[in-house]
């Protein structure tokens, strides 16, 4: 998936792509679509499917490849990434046939939307879970906390938020731009069951998701996944300049070589 993401970014040419926050999200999306979500790509609107919402809409470099791996559309379609008039732009557009549940791109809305989806599931005694992926920079938005408040108010234990905590936002280090203090304590104080894990460790991710599904507590769950922005490509890792950028041929080849070497 990481290689696919780099290929997509390279193919986008001078339009560029959100590389940093896409690469930090790879293991989270691979775990969700590979081993957690109850979905059926042959029946994308199956009533009892788990719902997934990418609130950090700029994470498409991890999202679209995950949808391909899960079988929602062929890898061939990734050639449509950031191509004029096509359905895979730089921020997702709701497209139920392709497994995309929600349009996003403007930050701070996905969790509220997920609260509405999860609350309806509760009202209807449905078994589905609602998963929402947020960025840590995104949590600067006040609406994230309005949503957090309402999720615990309505006892939405069928709602699981995952924060891709790559510690960098557009302008720099998150704690320097807007210090969140004790991030886990903040979620807990809003009535959430919070867990911190290594967001690149698939076993840890699987375990965390399993715990969310098995715990009897009547609280919404948040998995704070510590990640590295630009993960896997040394010249991008922890560099704010790669939040959004375009790759030269040389950079692309070097990044691919590094990814293959790592694997």
Partner 1 sequence: MAPLTPLNARIYSKLGQRGSFSLAIEEVAAQDEELVVMTADLTTLTGLTRFKEKYPGKFLNIGIAEQNMICLAAGMAKEGKNVFVTTYANFLAMRAYEQIRIQLGYMQFPVRVIGTGSGLAMGMSGNTHYGIEDIALMRAVPGLMVVSPADGAETTKVIHEAAHYPGPVYVRLSGVMNTPIVYTEEYPFAFGKAVRLREGDDVAVIATGTMVHESIRAAELLKEKGISASVLNMHTIKPLDTAAIRNACTRSNLIVTVEEHSIIGGLGSAVAECISETAGSPRLLRIGIPDAFQKVGDYRYLLEQNGLSAPQIAEKISITFGPGFRS
| Nearer to partner 1 among residue 94 and residue 218 (C-beta) | 94
Smallest separation (angstroms) from partner 1 to the CB of 30: 26
DSSP of 6-50, one letter per residue?
Answer: HHHHHHTGGG-B-HHHHHTTHHHHHHIIIII----TTSTT-TTPP
| Number of shown-chain residues binding partner 1 (CB under 8 A) | 24
Q: Is 160 in the site for partner 1 (CB under 8 A)?
A: no
Residue 53: half-sphere exposure toward Cβ, Cα within 13 Å = 25
d(CA 131, CA 134): 10
Smallest separation (angstroms) from partner 1 to the CB of 36: 20
Ramachandran angles phi, psi of 53, nearest 5°? -125, 120
Q: Is 150 in the site for partner 1 (CB under 8 A)?
A: yes
| Nearer to partner 1 among residue 99 and residue 114 (C-beta) | 114
DSSP of 183-244, one letter per residue?
Answer: HHHHHHHTT-EEEEEETT-HHHHHHHHHHHHH----S-EEEEEE--TTTT-TTTTT-GGGSS
Query: x/- site string to partner 1, residues 119 to 138, per CB under 8 A?
Result: xxx-xx--------------
Smallest separation (angstroms) from partner 1 to the CB of 51: 9
Q: Is 191 in the site for partner 1 (CB under 8 A)?
A: no
Helix axes of 110-123 and 142-153: crossing angle, nearest 10 degrees? 10
Would you say 24 and 230 are in contact if contact means Cβ atoms under 8 Å apart?
yes
Smallest separation (angstroms) from partner 1 to the CB of 138: 14
**Among residues 40, 146, 196, 258, the one that binds partner 1 under rule CB under 8 A:** 146
> Using CB under 8 A, which residues numbered 96 to 115 contact partner 1?
101-103, 106, 109, 112-115
Please state whether beta strands 193-198 and 221-226 pair in parallel, antiparallel, or not at all (unpaired).
parallel
Would you say 167 and 120 are in contact if contact means Cβ atoms under 8 Å apart?
no
Task: Give strand pairing partners of 197.
Answer: 225
| Nearer to partner 1 among residue 135 and residue 232 (C-beta) | 135
d(CA 2, CA 193): 30
Q: Residue 130 corresponds to which tokens in the numbers above?
A: 């609602």
> Using CB under 8 A, which residues numbered 60 to 99 contact partner 1?
94
Smallest separation (angstroms) from partner 1 to the CB of 90: 15
Smallest separation (angstroms) from partner 1 to the CB of 26: 26
Q: Which residues bind partner 1 (CB under 8 A)?
A: 94, 101-103, 106, 109, 112-121, 123-124, 143, 146-147, 149-150, 153
């Amino acid at each position: 998936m990481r290689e696919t993401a780099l290929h997509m970014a390279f193919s986008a040419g001078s339009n560029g792509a959100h590389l940093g926050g896409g690469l930090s999200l790879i293991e989270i999306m691979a775990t969700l679509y590979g081993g957690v979500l109850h979905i059926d790509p042959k029946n994308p609107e199956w009533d009892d499917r788990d719902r997934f919402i990418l609130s950090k809409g700029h994470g498409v470099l991890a999202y679209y490849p995950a949808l391909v791996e899960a079988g929602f559309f062929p890898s061939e379609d990734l050639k449509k990434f950031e191509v004029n008039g096509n359905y895979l732009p730089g921020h997702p557009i709701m497209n139920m046939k392709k497994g995309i549940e929600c349009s996003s791109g403007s930050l701070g809305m996905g969790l509220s939307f997920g609260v509405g989806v999860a609350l309806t599931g509760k009202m209807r005694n449905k078994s589905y879970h609602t998963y929402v992926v947020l960025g840590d920079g995104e949590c600067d938005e006040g609406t994230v906390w309005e949503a957090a408040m309402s999720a615990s108010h309505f006892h939405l234990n069928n709602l699981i938020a995952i924060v891709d905590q790559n510690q960098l936002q557009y302008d720099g280090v998150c704690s320097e731009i807007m210090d969140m203090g004790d991030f886990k304590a903040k979620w807990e104080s809003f009535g959430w069951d919070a867990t911190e894990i290594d967001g690149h460790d698939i076993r840890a991710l699987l375990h965390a998701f399993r715990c969310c599904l098995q715990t009897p507590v009547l609280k919404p769950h948040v998995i704070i996944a510590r990640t590295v922005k630009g993960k896997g490509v040394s010249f991008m890792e922890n560099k704010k300049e790669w939040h959004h950028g375009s790759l030269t041929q040389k950079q692309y080849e070097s990044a691919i070589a590094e990814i293959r070497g790592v694997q």
